[in-house]
């Protein structure tokens, strides 16, 4: 029986292959070559993509996760307390710690914009080269800020962990890792100007900087 099934399969394969081949349209002048068109569409376009918004940098993820945790505590404290295995006092301490951190630090976007426009207005270059100088200045200043935020929120995480018993610390660490992964995979966007490349950043520079010199 097994040999018969194998034989039947071998017989049917050429027939199905022939049937598939027969469905291919003949090459006719003036008719679009479907496969060639598909291959053409699959090839990446040349040039830069116009980025709509930058995604969250790794240095910013802890702050985003902790701020969302604060929102979860405010919205549903009982469920959050159960998830982290903490009591009401510990949950309140977590909330206050995150809230104090949020009020203490910000992204300082205006400093990034000032650095960008200063570089643009002081540059002797023209065209795309001048735009690129401005974008690089923005990115450098923004990186300085994000590095500071990253270091600061590592301290905040340490402060939270010191008030937690061992089992709660394990659950808190698991919560943080899960939320970090979700945010990273979701491609969440961050605040700030769009300065990923010349294509996406030219409008930003023109809006913030060109009007200062016109």
Per-residue model confidence as pLDDT tens for the chain (214 residues):
444 333 334 444 444 443 443 344 444 444 445 555 445 444 444 445 555 566 777 888 999 999 999 999 999 999 999 999 999 999 999 999 999 998 777 677 888 999 999 999 999 999 999 999 999 999 999 889 889 889 999 999 999 999 999 999 999 999 999 999 998 887 666 666 777 788 878 988 988 887 544 4
Cα dist from 194 to 11, 82, 135, 161, 182, whole Å: 60, 40, 9, 35, 23
Q: Is residue 18 part of a domain?
A: no
Taking the C-alpha atoms of residue 52 and residue 56, their distance in angstroms, rounded to an integer, is 13
Let me know if residue 9 belongs to a domain.
no
Domains: count for the chain: 1
Residues 6+ away with beta carbon under 8 Å from 142: 112, 192
Q: d(Cα 164, Cα 111) in Å, to the nearest integer?
A: 37
Q: Determine, yes or no, domain membership for 90.
A: yes
51: in domain? no
| Three-class secondary structure of residue 22 per DSSP | helix
Does residue 14 lie in a domain region? Answer: no
In a domain, residue 162? The reply is yes
Residue 27, in any domain of the structure: no
Output DSSP code: residue 25.
P
Contact 117, 111 (CB under 8 A): no
Residue 87 lies in a domain: yes
Q: Catalogue the E-assigned strands of the chain.
A: none
Dihedral sign, Cα of residue 82, residue 85, residue 91, residue 95: negative
Domain of 100, in residue numbers: 58-213
Global confidence as pTM: 0.64
């Amino acid at each position: 029986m097994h040999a018969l099934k194998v034989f039947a399969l071998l017989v049917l394969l050429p027939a199905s292959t022939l049937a598939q081949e027969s469905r291919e349209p003949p090459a006719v002048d003036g008719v679009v070559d479907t496969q060639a068109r598909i291959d053409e569409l699959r090839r990446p376009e040349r040039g830069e993509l116009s980025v709509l918004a930058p995604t969250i940098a790794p240095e910013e993820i802890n702050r985003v996760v902790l701020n969302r945790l604060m929102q979860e505590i405010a919205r549903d404290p009982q469920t959050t307390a159960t998830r982290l295995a903490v009591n009401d006092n510990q949950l309140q301490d977590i909330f206050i710690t995150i809230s104090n951190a949020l009020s203490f630090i910000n992204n300082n976007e205006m400093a990034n914009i000032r650095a960008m426009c200063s570089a643009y207005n002081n540059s002797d270059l023209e065209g795309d080269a001048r735009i690129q100088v401005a974008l690089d200045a923005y990115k450098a200043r923004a990186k300085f800020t994000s590095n500071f935020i990253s270091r600061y929120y590592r301290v905040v995480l340490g402060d939270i962990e010191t008030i937690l018993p061992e089992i709660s610390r394990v659950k808190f660490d698991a919560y943080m890792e899960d939320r970090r992964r979700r945010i990273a995979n979701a491609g969440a966007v961050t605040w700030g100007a769009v300065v990923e490349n010349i294509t996406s950043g030219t409008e930003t520079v023109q809006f913030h900087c060109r009007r200062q010199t016109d």
